[in-house]
Structure 1
């Protein structure tokens, strides 16, 4: 967005860190950080647990703390507010939008809408209040658009896919990258990228890969959050196959692993349109994933990858066995996925242009 004709002030509300545990690392998040052409601001708020009972209080904390932070930090009047999810962030910005008479555009990447029934009464009320105020509800898939229709009129909902920049993936250097990573030419690399959590199908992944009756498999996992991190490391230590596991891998390094991989494996229980699948398509890597959420809108079963039911490690193992026995088919699927990414214009550049168009429309209506 900031490389287009829009000027962006970026605010990333960040929880206060607990003194111990897996989320204590939030204490290391800086107050501000420069990213290329813009500066990210990280004002703190209270994220209270257990979430089941206190999720509404976390939303109130964002609203109370972030609004004054923005008002004292930025001098330039804003024309529009765009948030990356309906709840918490969208609700957190309601007070600011109302005070300054600003339109609000909200994104949903699936978590808030798919998990609505698990929220407490107060959080549900705040999510619906945000949707009612918002000028547009942007969703990443047509499947999610159908879910959003439960909460608002269809004319407020737009499917706006995200994407990836294929020029950042030097696929012509695949063999060299594999050599630099110490991967034998005959080794089949299965890559998993996502939170180390039950909902991402980590248990099914481990079960399926462990059951593969072959000696040429390397499982590589990359995670950035999730309460199964240490469970996974224990399991990988007992795996019959060689493994590598990474925590918060640098984006450039992650792109190298996408290129080196023979297949991306993503057996989630629910999804919108996962960014990691766009990355695999940009890297010419075929995808083996669950047929849930917006994934079937991305992966053409049998053409750019293979879709399997969630919660089914046996079907996942069988799909992997079949693909690994046919490397030519895997490369053809990877090429087809890359071409689909290009043809559908699933790129960040196109996404930014589309957001510019939507913002202009909303401001004209406001």
Structure 2
């Protein structure tokens, strides 16, 4: 059987913060799929940090850029108007799924215009199936493009933010109309089940985001290093909890007192923190970090992140809300023990005391104590790092996850309904 030709759509592709999508596309291509990449907006230059991003950016169809050409926009919609019943169904769907208020209606009509152009591009390129990541505005465009063109669609739902406004984004309607939904964790699947009709639950499949374990070579960390290297990788926004990490670091570096039960050292440890990423809170965080041994690097390419992780002793991600963070998988693949928060799908990846430490979200005292524990125990770091790499190789290898996704594309294309399985 010929593998279905795929198109992938996101709001911006590629982005330095969404390298897991690039890995998934590359893995599907390696399996023999043709994958046409599409992006609603043109990615900002700050995200094109490596050759992989620049190559993908060059080959990606930019929907808004095409919509700005009046002849392309008009030609696309005239094409679909030749099928008036289908065109009106799509227009009605855009209207009935719009968020309340004038602004919501206006945005959905804009998405409808974008969908016409995208649908024409997919049809012209012989695409058999459209897949979306994130499930927000770009998934609205995917749903409308599918209705216009008749090309089926599916999507990967991540969370957590989409579950804050599920009715706004009409994930119930998107799930009902999709051929299937890939959920990145059991927790994510359960959250979608809260809002979707039970009749559709058997089309919600667990397909993890994944990493290439061999990209992150485990490194023999020196047990007698003078400075313990901590690393954070992520978007510098409130949800990631970086202020708590800086607060915990500052407390850890204060001289210990006799009544402090959480301090393992007779004097402050030698620690350095590298913060990889960028975002709206960077300036405020740099100000908060003054006087601390912290380096801000901005966004870095996949290869550069792998290099930074190869020199790390501890990875810290103190997020308040997550789906199932790929960056934890990257650190674990590099045999780096992780400290993160006990939220959402994270415990499906990190087992407390085995391959990392889990702390309550928003608790700087517990975060400091966890960092203290690993800084003071190189042997424990080594054991947890090795266990973390084993976990990722077994359950979060992108090659294995892409095979699951490819199987779903094939089964549904053949008209078969796979029984729900955790795959």
State whether TM-score is above 0.5.
yes
Q: How far apart are 1:235 and its partner, in Å?
A: 1.5
SS in 2 for 1:293: coil
Question: Is residue 132–residue 139 contact of structure 2 (8 Å, CA) maintained in 1?
Answer: yes
1:97-136 CA distance string (max 9 Å, x none): 112212211111113542226xxx6x34x43322221121
Which residue of the partner structure matches residue 68 of structure 1? Answer: 117
Q: 1:70/1:100 Cα in 2 relative to 1: closer, same or farther (>3 Å)?
A: closer
Which residue of the partner structure matches residue 180 of structure 1? Answer: none
Question: Is residue 278–residue 298 contact of structure 2 (8 Å, CA) maintained in 1?
Answer: yes
1:194 equivalent among 231, 234, 237 = 234
Q: How far apart are 1:77 and its partner, in Å?
A: 1.6
Q: Does 2:56 align with 1:35?
A: yes
1:353 equivalent among 390, 399, 403 = 403
Which residue of the partner structure matches residue 273 of structure 2? Answer: 219
Which residue of the partner structure matches residue 293 of structure 1? Answer: 344
Question: Is residue 218–residue 243 contact of structure 1 (8 Å, CA) maintained in 2?
Answer: yes
Question: Is residue 41–residue 62 contact of structure 2 (8 Å, CA) maintained in 1?
Answer: yes
1:170 equivalent among 185, 203, 217 = 217
Q: How far apart are 1:34 and its partner, in Å?
A: 2.7
1:236 equivalent among 275, 289, 302 = 289
Q: 1:304/1:131 Cα in 2 relative to 1: closer, same or farther (>3 Å)?
A: same
1:129 equivalent among 145, 158, 173 = 173
Q: How far apart are 1:26 and its partner, in Å?
A: 8.8
Q: How far apart are 1:65 and its partner, in Å?
A: 2.0
1:249 equivalent among 296, 300, 305 = 300
SS in 1 for 2:414: helix
TM-score by length of 2: 0.73
Which residue of the partner structure matches residue 92 of structure 2? Answer: none
Q: 1:284/1:90 Cα in 2 relative to 1: closer, same or farther (>3 Å)?
A: same
Q: Does 2:55 align with 1:8?
A: no
Question: Is residue 119–residue 148 contact of structure 2 (8 Å, CA) maintained in 1?
Answer: no
Q: Gapped runs of 5+ residues in structure 2? A: 1-27, 68-98, 254-267, 417-423
Greater relative contact order structure (CA < 8 Å, 6+ sep): 2
SS in 2 for 1:9: strand
Q: How far apart are 1:261 and its partner, in Å?
A: 0.9
Which residue of the partner structure matches residue 206 of structure 2? Answer: 159
Question: Is residue 13–residue 62 contact of structure 1 (8 Å, CA) maintained in 2?
Answer: no
Question: Is residue 80–residue 102 contact of structure 1 (8 Å, CA) maintained in 2?
Answer: yes
Question: Is residue 81–residue 104 contact of structure 1 (8 Å, CA) maintained in 2?
Answer: yes
Which residue of the partner structure matches residue 244 of structure 2? Answer: 204
Q: 1:269/1:185 Cα in 2 relative to 1: closer, same or farther (>3 Å)?
A: same
Question: Is residue 136–residue 156 contact of structure 1 (8 Å, CA) maintained in 2?
Answer: yes
Q: Does 2:136 align with 1:87?
A: yes
Q: How far apart are 1:60 and its partner, in Å?
A: 4.3
Separation in 2, partners of 1:231, 1:14: 28
1:318 equivalent among 338, 357, 369 = 369
TM-score by length of 1: 0.83
Q: Which moved more, 1:65-74 or 1:249-258?
A: 65-74
Separation in 2, partners of 1:52, 1:277: 37
Q: How far apart are 1:172 and its partner, in Å?
A: 4.0
Q: 1:59/1:87 Cα in 2 relative to 1: closer, same or farther (>3 Å)?
A: farther
**Bigger-Rg structure (1/2):** 2
Moved over 6 A (4+): 23-28
Separation in 1, partners of 2:100, 2:375: 42
Q: How far apart are 1:58 and its partner, in Å?
A: 4.5
Q: 1:308/1:359 Cα in 2 relative to 1: closer, same or farther (>3 Å)?
A: same
Separation in 2, partners of 1:306, 1:58: 43
Q: 1:56/1:278 Cα in 2 relative to 1: closer, same or farther (>3 Å)?
A: farther
Question: Is residue 208–residue 317 contact of structure 1 (8 Å, CA) maintained in 2?
Answer: yes
Separation in 1, partners of 2:310, 2:152: 41
Question: Is residue 15–residue 26 contact of structure 1 (8 Å, CA) maintained in 2?
Answer: no
SS in 2 for 1:114: helix
Which residue of the partner structure matches residue 330 of structure 1? Answer: 381
Q: Gapped runs of 5+ residues in structure 1? A: 17-22, 176-183
Q: 1:6/1:274 Cα in 2 relative to 1: closer, same or farther (>3 Å)?
A: same
What is the number of equivalent residue pairs in this alignment?
335
Q: 1:293/1:259 Cα in 2 relative to 1: closer, same or farther (>3 Å)?
A: same
